[in-house]
Structure 1
């Protein structure tokens, strides 16, 4: 999800160079709700394969169907070999991307990625909008989702929402792993204190986050409205668009909040805010920058077996510290 949000910076850079260009995006079906928020995208095309599926026949058939579109260029963002197959099968004359998994032939405008120059994911995406000899790193446009007031209104009606109180959205999920998740007890304490200050608290996330969200709500004395696992991605985006502030782990929803231009408190533990930061001037990043972080591990490697995970990079970010940041925003 975060990569799709950051890809909008590439689309904006392309439109800045070629205002009349048509940008179609081939992506997993579940991401189409995000692409619908990007005015630079003309058409969104759903990948015919599931995540991790090779699907050679399906990719070949899709490539053949796309030949009639006569695309001038394909920019391949994933580094996998299979992701370069559809543009090759579609006979797209210029196929741009980083070398990745030995993609000579599949890509004919292959770039070598210098991670010391392109330190941020968004820089790596945007650099592909320009010729090889362009000075790097590039200036990166800020992702900006277009809000749909009618969809926000419909979502509010569906869930019978009270929009007269300030709304704090908490995003406790992080698909990458536990080492990116602020503790349940901290989210619960934050929810209790902000609810006492007159906020209404919404918990957002996917089906995978529903159990954690329920634990937070229970520990907070049921002061939250738990939407995790109970909305479509489109509805989750509309709910975030209604929020006054958002507190999130380093996750896909954090990047969505940034693209919606929301006030965000972004919590970083095992990951690096200089690599994948929320691309918004309204983002307030909290990262303790401990000697052991960023480790980029899914689970904290520093803990004695008889105790709970160490993860001091997150547990030492106190609810009071987040509250202090929130008080400067609202």
Structure 2
């Protein structure tokens, strides 16, 4: 059996989108270990094909040369092949230091010495699932790439434990993920989230759980304050594992284009994804129960998609003109799908 090490990407959404690659590798008999930063490691623990998750104790953006050499020493002789998913030089250092015989990845930042099987960097912004699946080295038709969908799973006991800790019943709550790590240009307005929360709570009395990182707690509190009695702020109060379990057990989710959007898609729950500055042609929620709202054709804004962190014009019309009533309708459509 081929022993394989996968160097994981650093963002939650990208980690989710790598799942079809890992499924392909496991299906052809490779035994998989994933080396991941702590904030994405829980994603790989929800992939049954992953035998081992190795957490990397690196700070964001730092080279940590000595630490990479120490970790590589513990991996020497354990693996036959490494798949390096990020395009940075530092991501390719551990397989090289560890002397793993076959090291596969995109050329990225001039990694000709570190990788001995290099794929040409694609132009533009390719669909991420196909981008990662190409590392398996097997020709895939357009139809196969289009059909590939990330899939995550938890045992039912994990879902119930997370729901109990949050004081809710599985299936008896909504989830909003109103933040976006990349920047505010991806965020549907807080006032719109609050109005949607009021409408949903008035209809069914189910609580709306507001999830995200600690950096998004203030945003979530703003939404909760504008929707009295409808929301519970859990941003920054749960682990990523528990947040994922709460998403998996939710009645439905509303989010921006974010990592938690991809988590919801991989669990296959009803969801609405609001896009503005980014494009669903690049990173859509790959979920047959997802509804995507992107008003590029309706608004006729030449700046869409800009892929910027902040709106250069200061109006974020691409998001603010997506009405809460429209999102509510889309959510009910997702439930019926």
TM-score bracket, normalised by the shorter chain, equals over 0.9
User: Partners of 1:159 and 1:243 in 2: how far apart?
Assistant: 12
Are positions 1:36 and 2:45 aligned together?
A: yes
Within-5 A mapping of 1:191-210: 191-198=197-204, 199-210=206-217
Q: Once the two structures are superposed, what CA deviation does each residue of 1:205-243 show, in whole Å capped at 9, x if it has no partner?
A: 110111000000001123111111111111111111111
Structure 1 residues 242, 270: CA separation in 2 closer, same or farther (over 3 Å shift)? Answer: same
Count of residue pairs brought into register by the alignment = 317
**Could you tell me whether the CA contact under 8 Å between 1:26 and 1:46 is conserved in 2?**
yes
Residue 305 of structure 1 corresponds to which residue in structure 2?
none
Q: Determine which of 311, 322, 325 is the counterpart of 2:327.
A: 322
Distance (Å, rounded) in 1 between the aligned partners of 2:140 and 2:231: 49
2:285 matches 1:274: no
Residue of structure 1 in register with 2:176 after alignment: 170
Is the CA contact 2:272–2:334 (under 8 Å) kept in the aligned structure 1?
no
Moved over 6 A (4+): none
Write the distance in 2 (CA, Å) between the matches of 1:298 and 1:156: 33
The answer to whether the 8 A contact 1:262-1:282 is kept is: yes
Counterpart CA distance in 1 for 2:165 and 2:195 is 29
CA distance in 2, matches of 1:325, 1:12: 31
Question: How far is the alpha carbon of 1:135 from its aligned partner?
Answer: 5.4
**What is the CA deviation profile of residues 32-86 of structure 1, one whole-angstrom value per residue up to 9, with x for unaligned ones?**
21111001111111113211111111111111210131x1211101111111110
Structure 2 length-normalised TM: 0.90
Assess if the C-alpha contact under 8 Å between 2:210 and 2:234 holds in 1: yes
Shift of 1:291: 2.3
Q: How big is each residue's C-alpha offset from its partner over 1:2-43, in whole Å with a ceiling of 9 and x where there is no partner?
A: 011011111012123x1x210111110222211110011111
Structure 1 distance, partners of 2:163, 2:47, is 22
- 2:104 aligned to 92, 96, 115, which one? 96
Structure 1, unaligned runs of 5 or more: 303-308
Deviates more, 1:313-322 or 1:24-33: 24-33
Report the equivalent of 1:184. Answer: 190
Separation (CA, whole Å) in 2 of partners of 1:107 and 1:328: 46
TM-score (norm 1): 0.92
Q: How does 1:74-93 map to 2 (within 5 A)?
A: 74-93=82-101
- Gaps of at least 5 residues in structure 2 are 1-11
Match of 2:249 in 1: 242
Deviation at residue 136 of structure 1 after TM alignment:
6.0
- Alpha-carbon distance between aligned partners in 1 of 2:229 and 2:276, rounded to the nearest angstrom: 27
